[in-house]
Amino acid sequence: MGGVVAHEIAVELRRRGCEVGRLIVLDATGEVDSADSVAEPASESDVLELILVAAGIDIAAHPRPLTYRQAEALLNQRTPIEFSLPPRRIVEIMLDNMNANQSMRLKHVPDVFDGDMIVFSAKRGSGGRSLADSWRPYVSGDITEYPVDCTHESMLNIESLQLFGERIAIYLH
């Protein structure tokens, strides 16, 4: 969702006469779902899985759906505990946010950004898709894609940032 929002902000800034040197997005797709697409709403288990994966916990062997207590137990098994589960109310807010974003994404029709775009794409779990190709209908300038050896969920981890942070810094100066 972040890439879609960044794209739309860049389009609006250009519409208002502002200069946008380049648009940089992290592992964001420009694919648009059809208006009649029906997506399953996210569940609490989906949110908990994202949190556990972000904490570096392999959840492949654990039964689904995950409960809050199961997620808490998995996090507590780590030594030392570097990452705690957010309070249940925060998990509920995250779930509401995920579903609201999904709903807005289904209704959104992107405009065309008349500038250049840089896409840093997560190689792991991508299925070989080209994010640059997905943005082509919505960017009239050049699109440069840099694959990063990480997953979408780990794009902002220290290890992943070390792989592409310097290149972003170059583009920002």
- Residue numbers of the domain that contains 138: 2-30+111-172
Q: Is residue 19 part of a domain?
A: yes
Q: Is residue 36 part of a domain?
A: no
- Quote the CA–CA distance of 148 and 163 in Å, as a whole number: 7
Higher pLDDT pick, 52 / 6: 6
Over residues 100-150, the pLDDT tens digits come to: 988 888 888 889 999 999 999 998 876 777 899 999 999 999 999 999 888
Last residue in a domain, options 104, 125, 156:
104
- In whole numbers, what is the pLDDT of the chain averaged over residues? 87
Percent of the chain with pLDDT over 90: 45
Q: Structural domain tally of the chain?
A: 2
Which of 34-38, 92-96, 119-123 tops mean pLDDT?
92-96
Last residue in a domain, options 104, 138, 156:
104
Handedness of CA 31, 142, 16, 98 (dihedral sign): positive
88 — pLDDT class (breaks 50, 70, 90):
very high
- Quote the CA–CA distance of 168 and 105 in Å, as a whole number: 26
Same domain, 135 and 155: yes
Same domain, 93 and 124: no
pLDDT at 84: 82
In 3D space, the residue among 45, 40, 25 whose CA is nearest the CA of residue 115 turns out to be 25
Same domain, 60 and 93: yes
In 3D space, the residue among 4, 22, 35 whose CA is nearest the CA of residue 173 turns out to be 22
Q: Look up the pTM and report it.
A: 0.77
Q: Is residue 22 part of a domain?
A: yes
- Quote the CA–CA distance of 148 and 165 in Å, as a whole number: 10
Same domain, 121 and 157: yes
Same domain, 50 and 91: yes
